[in-house]
A and B are shown apart, each in its own frame.
Chain A
């Protein structure tokens, strides 16, 4: 069966669902999920400011943009964020439906194309989907419910305050009743109420929010193979393309011979794609494209190309030597990211100091779905189907690259087979679009896994040096953390080796420790490959270093890990940015500090919950140990307690307890699945994932030499979600689970064996 779709059709990612509420609920899995029941006082929805207003195109709260109601009562909700596995395509509409009193079984979800002026910000990264849209979703749902009640009141000639809306039914005081479909036309023509005019549901009236019983909207399609990802749209006359890209960023083909490639049956044409390099945002790397009648012919054609590559200026990038340089840089003062108290005095007065250095190799995201996209260029315009995290950016970038009017570019968002930051960068989509124009037919661009491993926008590599001063009683009096890592900025602008405030804000200068004198510095490092962002970004190296250091300091001072963490975190308090030596441009994940403070009480609490959950301190057999780490990122707090066990010379982690404080939790089932996933990905970061470079080219290529955690060594995770009412602002979920995992495993490995590892990846063998 071939599925053909008309260009300029409705968004392809559209589903009508059945059986949407889980039979077993989400409590049926092992590794119990723990959410303490809490009695909730009925309370209104007090609006609060977030960083959403500061994002490009902000937040749109117009129900007419996001909601339509058919005459038969079917409610169609627009999902405007990309779905890459976090559940946002389900959870945001679920919040709308709940506040609307819509029956979830009568709700249909359609995916918005890239159009931020219409839908508001769509850039799905930064763990922002729920944090920035839960208020908007409640406002939209509440607006529609209010409008339905008003329409009914008008029709029945009654006071709207006497009209109730419940599960897709509107009821009047004298027993009148109408369905959503009956009132839709009149309701949607009414003025949209203001926030103050809406009688929001109290939390005890929530049907779906906070329950974790709504299943993801794509569940059935995913399990039957009907779900549509980047490479899954079939268009009439579509061609299949792959590209041979320069092994070194900024390199070019000095010459190439396509004779043999063109002789491969099925190969139709060969094209040279304009070359890119560093500081060119998400432009393609360039190279030689092979277009064929199927993917296999294109791959064989690519193998048959004869290309002389010229490496260019980054051909001397060797990551081992580079690491030595970064470590050397970390021995020298860098630029100040925080200066609290008088660190020089603290070190001058110290009884002794304690210093450790930690490193981390580059990481490639390797989403399960390698980059793939489909483009169809015609005289009318360009239509794209692609698994992209930021479809409006893609639309504008491609319009610019191809000198098109953005109005004539449509970007349909498919499901993403994982994103993790890689699919924020649409080089692969631009390749498809350029080729479609070139060949005059729809083109499916397929990256192989080797292409993905070798041509990513890599997570940075880093050297982190931490030195503390101790007084005669072993109190920590000074904290000096120097971080050296090439910056994401190098992907956007000519590189001067300096990091961005947002990279420093991710775990370097926001360190919440109760130490009088704190200095954080960044050393220069010039990028030699495209640096991108990977799930949790700079928090990974910073949390790795800080978490490992706390473990080492505990050992040095003869304390257990929990005591050491709690002493450093100190009494419950909020970090005062004015008196903490933080720079004016301190980055709090784009959120106002007053609303999203750095709260040491929350940090200590998640640590205690995870440590208690795993039974930290219990007796363990030889070769087993528990490691602890806690980290604040994306304005959430996550602790990891990892039980490490050596089995046949291999590091295994049979059990983990993870505790997350993400403020109000709208969908605990998806939060649990994100935390389980973060545990596995964090463990891959800890044990396996390292990209290295020789002569400018990536050494690794596929799962042979760039492996990840598999089901023979996954941690059984118990997830503890700290319960909060709605008034405790929802914060990030997708990313913050990752950073504490690697240091917890390193601390657990040390507890199990006395083997202290300071470089990521640490390897899986002891």
Chain B
């Protein structure tokens, strides 16, 4: 049995301890805002926060996050109005949208750690989040907007 704090509430999983956190979040907890895009840590679609840091949920086994505080997109802000989410909406970032929850979780973790990142720091932090639709220009602009208000 694995216990985690998922979006503020304690949650127990009785399934295999080697199950990646991604599938526990999606299939067992039914929180489908966290996406599967590659399963090998190369796309960022599954990005969640583990004790406040951006991590790839597909690369963490349940037993590796025992007791950890996990935040998914659903738990980011009670009203869904985190300033990063708001910036994403202000700039109409998404196309298909599938990568965007992962992008937002990555951006939030970056800004929590480094509230005023340089452009190079934004690119470095975001470059492992793939957007096949190619929204990068607006993603980077939205991170900047959330950081500086412009």
Which A residues are closer than 8 A to B by beta carbons?
1-3, 19, 22-24, 26, 28-31, 83-87, 215-216, 218-220, 222-229, 231-232, 234, 240, 265-266, 294-297, 300, 366-370, 415-420, 446, 448-449, 669, 673-674, 676-681, 702-704, 708-712, 714-717
A676 and B138 within 8 A (CB)? yes
Complex Cα–Cα for A370 and B46 (A)? 13
- 21 sample A-B contacts, Cβ–Cβ < 8 Å, listed by A number: A19-B89, A22-B90, A24-B90, A30-B137, A84-B96, A85-B133, A215-B92, A224-B74, A227-B97, A231-B36, A368-B43, A370-B36, A417-B98, A677-B133, A680-B133, A681-B133, A703-B38, A709-B134, A710-B128, A716-B137, A717-B137
A418 and B19 within 8 A (CB)? no
Residues of A within 8 A of B134 (CB): 676-681, 709, 714
A223 and B23 within 8 A (CB)? no
B36 and A669 within 8 A (CB)? no
Residues of A within 8 A of B36 (CB): 231, 295, 370, 446
> Nearest-CB distance from A448 to chain B (Å)?
6
Which residue of the partner chain, among B80, B98, B123, B145, contacts A712 with CB atoms under 8 Å? B123
Given A215-B89, A416-B96, A673-B138, A232 and B32 touching (CB < 8 A)? Answer: yes
A449 and B40 within 8 A (CB)? yes
Known contacts A86-B95, A681-B134; 8 additional CB pairs below 8 A are A219-B92, A222-B94, A223-B89, A223-B100, A225-B74, A296-B27, A368-B130, A417-B98
The answer to whether the Cβ of B129 comes within 8 Å of any Cβ in the partner chain is: yes
- Quick one: closest A residue to B20, CB to CB? A296
Interface residues on B, range: 35 or more
Which residue of the partner chain, among B33, B72, B95, contacts A85 with CB atoms under 8 Å? B95
Residues of A within 8 A of B100 (CB): 222-223
Which residue of the partner chain, among A26, A419, A714, contacts B92 with CB atoms under 8 Å? A26
The answer to whether the Cβ of B126 comes within 8 Å of any Cβ in the partner chain is: yes
Residues of A within 8 A of B43 (CB): 368, 449, 703
Complex Cα–Cα for A28 and B145 (A)? 10
Residues of B within 8 A of A216 (CB): 92, 94
Residues of B within 8 A of A677 (CB): 95, 133-135
> Nearest-CB distance from A676 to chain B (Å)?
5
Complex Cα–Cα for A218 and B98 (A)? 11
Complex Cα–Cα for A265 and B19 (A)? 11
Residues 32-62 of B at the A interface (beta carbon under 8 Å) = 32-40, 42-43, 45
Residues of A within 8 A of B128 (CB): 710
- Quick one: closest B residue to A214, CB to CB? B92
A225 and B72 within 8 A (CB)? yes
Residues of B within 8 A of A676 (CB): 134-135, 137-138
Residues of A within 8 A of B124 (CB): 712
The answer to whether the Cβ of B140 comes within 8 Å of any Cβ in the partner chain is: yes
Shortest Cβ-Cβ A-B pairs, 9 listed: A225-B33, A680-B134, A417-B98, A85-B96, A222-B97, A85-B95, A225-B73, A224-B80, A714-B136
A219 and B89 within 8 A (CB)? yes
> Nearest-CB distance from A86 to chain B (Å)?
7
Residues of A within 8 A of B137 (CB): 29-31, 676, 714-717
B42 and A673 within 8 A (CB)? no
Complex Cα–Cα for A678 and B133 (A)? 8
Complex Cα–Cα for A215 and B86 (A)? 13
Residues of A within 8 A of B127 (CB): 710-712
Residues of B within 8 A of A231 (CB): 26, 32, 36
Complex Cα–Cα for A266 and B145 (A)? 45
The answer to whether the Cβ of B70 comes within 8 Å of any Cβ in the partner chain is: no
B138 and A366 within 8 A (CB)? no
Complex Cα–Cα for A22 and B38 (A)? 33
B16 and A24 within 8 A (CB)? no
B34 and A225 within 8 A (CB)? yes
Residues of B within 8 A of A704 (CB): 40, 42
Binary interface encoding of chain B residues 93-129 relative to chain A, with 1 for a CB under 8 A from any of its CBs, else 0: 0111111110010000000000000000001101111
The answer to whether the Cβ of B147 comes within 8 Å of any Cβ in the partner chain is: no
Complex Cα–Cα for A713 and B134 (A)? 11
A220 and B15 within 8 A (CB)? no
Which B residues are closer than 8 A to A by beta carbons?
15-16, 19-20, 23-24, 26-40, 42-43, 45, 72-74, 80, 85, 88-92, 94-101, 104, 123-124, 126-141, 145
Which residue of the partner chain, among B33, B96, B98, B123, contacts A711 with CB atoms under 8 Å? B123
> Nearest-CB distance from B70 to chain A (Å)?
14
> Nearest-CB distance from B62 to chain A (Å)?
9
Given A28-B141, A215-B89, A703-B43, A417 and B95 touching (CB < 8 A)? Answer: no
> Nearest-CB distance from A679 to chain B (Å)?
7
B27 and A673 within 8 A (CB)? no
A294 and B38 within 8 A (CB)? no
Residues of A within 8 A of B40 (CB): 449, 702-704
Interface centre among A220, A224, A676 (most CB of B within 10 A): A224
Residues of A within 8 A of B33 (CB): 224-227
Complex Cα–Cα for A3 and B26 (A)? 11
Residues of A within 8 A of B19 (CB): 294, 296
Residues of A within 8 A of B16 (CB): 265-266, 296-297, 300
- Quick one: closest B residue to A709, CB to CB? B134
> Nearest-CB distance from B76 to chain A (Å)?
8
A711 and B38 within 8 A (CB)? no
> Nearest-CB distance from A539 to chain B (Å)?
18
Residues of B within 8 A of A702 (CB): 38-40, 42
> Nearest-CB distance from B91 to chain A (Å)?
6
- Quick one: closest A residue to B139, CB to CB? A711
Given A219-B92, A297-B16, A673-B92, A369 and B80 touching (CB < 8 A)? Answer: no
Residues of A within 8 A of B88 (CB): 223
Complex Cα–Cα for A673 and B142 (A)? 14
Complex Cα–Cα for A256 and B94 (A)? 44
Which residue of the partner chain, among B34, B42, B90, contacts A28 with CB atoms under 8 Å? B90
Interface centre among A24, A26, A266 (most CB of B within 10 A): A24
Residues of A within 8 A of B74 (CB): 1, 224-226
Residues of B within 8 A of A223 (CB): 80, 85, 88-89, 94, 100-101, 104
Residues of B within 8 A of A673 (CB): 92, 95, 135, 138
Which residue of the partner chain, among B15, B123, B138, contacts A29 with CB atoms under 8 Å? B138
A710 and B30 within 8 A (CB)? no
> Nearest-CB distance from B140 to chain A (Å)?
6
- Quick one: closest A residue to B144, CB to CB? A30
A224 and B133 within 8 A (CB)? no
Residues of A within 8 A of B101 (CB): 222-223, 225
Complex Cα–Cα for A1 and B33 (A)? 12
B85 and A294 within 8 A (CB)? no
B42 and A1 within 8 A (CB)? no
Residues of B within 8 A of A419 (CB): 96
Complex Cα–Cα for A370 and B39 (A)? 11
A1 and B138 within 8 A (CB)? no
Residues of A within 8 A of B23 (CB): 294-296
> Nearest-CB distance from A504 to chain B (Å)?
29
- Quick one: closest A residue to B126, CB to CB? A711
- Quick one: closest A residue to B62, CB to CB? A296
A711 and B85 within 8 A (CB)? no
- Quick one: closest B residue to A24, CB to CB? B90
- Quick one: closest B residue to A224, CB to CB? B80
> Nearest-CB distance from B94 to chain A (Å)?
5
B136 and A680 within 8 A (CB)? yes
Given A1-B30, A296-B16, A368 and B91 touching (CB < 8 A)? Answer: no
- Quick one: closest A residue to B143, CB to CB? A711
Residues of A within 8 A of B35 (CB): 229, 368-369, 417
Given A704-B40, A710-B130, A711-B136, A669 and B27 touching (CB < 8 A)? Answer: no
> Nearest-CB distance from B7 to chain A (Å)?
9
